Structure 1
Amino acid sequence: MVRITDVARHAGVSPSTVSYALSGKRPISEETRLRIEASIWELGYRPHAGARALAGSRSNVLALVVPLRAGIHVPVAMQFAVSVVTTARKHDHDVLLLTQEEGEEGLRRVADTALVDALIVMDVGLHDPRLSLLRSLDLPSVLIGLPQDADGLTCVDLDFRAAGELCVERLAGLGHRVVALIGSPPEVYVRRTAFAQRVVQGFTAAATRGGLASSVQPCEAQPDAARRVAEQLLREHPALTGVVVHNEAVLEPLIDAFEQLGLRVPADLSITAICPDELAASLRVPVTSVALPSTELGERAVELLIAKLGGSDVPGATLLPPRMTERASTARRALA
Structure 2
Amino acid sequence: MDFFEQTGKVAIGSRLRMLTDKVTEDAANIYQLYNIDMQPKWFPVFYSLSQGEEKTITELAKLIGHSHPSVSKMIGEMLKKGYVKESRDKEDGRRNVISLSDAGKQVADKIKDQLIDVEAAIEELSAQTQNKLWEAIGEWEFLLEQKNLLRRVMEKKKERDSLKVEIIDYQPKYQEIFRSLNVEWISKYFTMEESDYKALDNPQGYILDKGGVILVARYEGEPLGVCALIKMNDGEYDFELAKMAVSPKAQGKNVGFLLANAIIEKARSLSATKIYLESNTILKPAINLYHKLGFKKVAGKPTPYARCNIQMELVLK
TM-score (norm 2): 0.27
Q: Larger helix proportion, structure 1 or 2? A: 2
Structure with greater Cα Rg: 2
Higher relative contact order (CA 8 A, sep 6+): 1
TM-score (norm 1): 0.26
